[in-house]
Structure 1
Amino acid sequence: MTTVDLDTPAPQQPGHHRPPAHSRGTGTARQILLLTSRSVRALVLDPRAILLSLLMPLLMLLAFSQIFATMAASTSILPQGGSYLEYLLPAIMVNTAMQSGLQAGSTLTEEMRNGIVARFRAMPIWLGSVLVARSLAHLTRSLLQLVILLLLATVGFGFSPPGGFTGTTLALAVAIVVGGGMGWISIALASWLRNADLMQDMAAFLLLPLLFASSAFVPVDSLPTWLATIAKVNPLTYGIDAARGLTLGEPHIGATLAALTVSITACGICMAVAVRGFRRPL
């Protein structure tokens, strides 16, 4: 009788390879990094996209700084010895970051439609990493847009706020956080609606009322009563006031805390909502 030793591994045939006992996939952090890099390359390496995304804030800066400059000079909204440009540019920074955030949802719906998301679903990855990567890619795009916008404003318009480099950098950070909150709202809507045209219409519908019913162009106290009431509860007002205070060297602690709290809370809630909606079959 032949005795079989169970502790001795069976001989393998030539050319046969035993699969590993435990196969580890790519970690979540690595997934997010790779997906973000892919999205950033698609967004940043197209010069036309960067040019077009800068065109609107530059036109706003040129138009509104000329339209309201004379009126603002006769009021008390300007800092001592300051200019309306210093008052306006922080609002355009926050608005630019919000626009980029709103585009995150539209981009996601386009990827659902052209089959890229279907490919991701076939991979052994956490689906939420696709959404996080989309958010980070648009935050990177916002950062690039704002840096270029500030450089052009400094060189072409003589932007030199009292808050200096530190205040302007902190204002840029506030704009990025506000844009991140809006981005996750957009991604959550896209994960459930899944319609690119509808997302674009909703972005236009949301952005204009938020912008004009705020402290972007004139102080809230100078608005009509009904509009001032809306502006006082408009989250964008707090983001603009926070960025403006930092660039002018007069930080508004309350507005800054409110803007950061609302934006971070929106990120957390909308991330959970977005992941749940994104898991549904296409």
Structure 2
Amino acid sequence: MATLTWHGSSYPTQVLVLTGRSLRALLRTPLLVFFSVLQPLIMLTLFSQIFGSITGTANFPPGMSYIDYLLPAILVNTAMQSSLASGIGLVQDMSNGVLARFRSLPIRPSTVLLARNLSDAVRTAFQLVLMIAFGVLVFGFRPDGGMLGTLAALGLALVVGWALSWVFIAIAAWVRKAELMQTVGFLAMFPLMFASSAFVPVGGLPGWLQAVAKVNPLTYAVDAARSLALAHPVTGVAGALATSGVIAVIGAFFAVRGFRRPLAL
């Protein structure tokens, strides 16, 4: 008589269950949810007031309000910052013993990483939707692209953040230290954020910084999101999506390899 052997649930089921587990863990810490939502709203408020006076300068697009110029960029920046949380969350799971228990179960290592990636994408989407609502209600965000263009910009920001989260997950899988993970993350994010077209037109930057901004991949993502929201001729969207896909594949490859290493080094 043949003996039936259970080899575990299917790959999609594993991803679904583990994604739900990550989301439930997030909801059990309401203060974390509150501050993760509050941070981008504060950023939007501060930058809209600090840089709002550049609307009268020669390099700023005529007839455009600064909030319409800024908010698509903040969507991309927020998605990028949220991607860092994917790596930090993985490091925390490694340190508190959760992943050690996962290793004793009949699940594939990649499902753990994909579930982390997807749960953080859901959290990021919630942040971005609230930010758009805040921009509309408080600052009068009324882009020429309307709701459809704004949602397209949101979708592009989510794709960029999803791809970058694989990079930070890969770093976390190899580094495995929260402090080092945060340091590496912030060192990478700040040049990407400020040496770009996110807050001011590239033409208004010093010459050497213009050169950096023009090769900064975030500039192309921000410009593409801005074009979608403002109903400008759309350029760079295909490039941003293709680049995000390449980054995601490379990041996922190294993330899985790093994750398979023994936890106790």
Taking structure 2 as the reference length, the TM-score comes to 0.95
In structure 2, stretches of 5+ residues that fail to align are none
- Are residues 1:270 and 2:258 paired? no
Contact 2:22-2:115 at 8 Å conserved across structures: yes
2: distance between equivalents of 1:137 and 1:57? 18
- Give 1:260's aligned amino acid: L
Instruction: Tell me which of 37, 40, 43 is aligned to 1:60.
Output: 43
- Are residues 1:135 and 2:128 paired? no
**1:150 paired residue number:** 132
Taking the TM superposition and a 5 Å limit, the aligned residue runs for 1:203-214 are: 203-214=185-196
- Give 2:102's aligned amino acid: F
Give the CA deviation at 1:67: 1.8
Instruction: Tell me which of 183, 192, 197 is aligned to 1:201.
Output: 183
SS in 2 for 1:277: helix
2: distance between equivalents of 1:134 and 1:91? 25
SS in 1 for 2:226: helix
Taking the TM superposition and a 5 Å limit, the aligned residue runs for 1:219-238 are: 219-238=201-220
2: distance between equivalents of 1:252 and 1:223? 23
1: distance between equivalents of 2:41 and 2:237? 25
- Are residues 1:50 and 2:50 paired? no
Taking a change above 3 Å as real, the CA distance of residues 21 and 64 of structure 1, as seen in their structure-2 partners, is closer
Taking structure 1 as the reference length, the TM-score comes to 0.89
Give the CA deviation at 1:193: 0.9
What's the RMSD between the two structures over aligned residues? 1.5
**1:89 paired residue number:** 71
Query: Between Structure 1 and Structure 2, whose CA radius of gyration is higher?
Result: 1
After superposition, give the CA deviation of every residue in 1:239-271 in whole Å (9 maximum; x if it has no partner): 100111111111432x21221111110100110
Instruction: Tell me which of 90, 94, 115 is aligned to 1:108.
Output: 90
Taking a change above 3 Å as real, the CA distance of residues 25 and 207 of structure 1, as seen in their structure-2 partners, is same
Give the CA deviation at 1:69: 1.5
Instruction: Tell me which of 92, 99, 103 is aligned to 1:121.
Output: 103
- Give 1:139's aligned amino acid: A
- Give 1:115's aligned amino acid: G
- Give 1:268's aligned amino acid: V
**How many equivalent pairs are there?**
263
Taking a change above 3 Å as real, the CA distance of residues 251 and 54 of structure 1, as seen in their structure-2 partners, is farther
2: distance between equivalents of 1:73 and 1:56? 28
In structure 1, stretches of 5+ residues that fail to align are 1-8, 10-18
Contact 2:192-2:218 at 8 Å conserved across structures: yes
After superposition, give the CA deviation of every residue in 1:214-263 in whole Å (9 maximum; x if it has no partner): 0011111221111111111111111100111111111432x212211111
Contact 1:73-1:84 at 8 Å conserved across structures: no
Give the CA deviation at 1:54: 2.3
2: distance between equivalents of 1:231 and 1:22? 57
Taking a change above 3 Å as real, the CA distance of residues 161 and 45 of structure 1, as seen in their structure-2 partners, is farther
SS in 1 for 2:60: coil
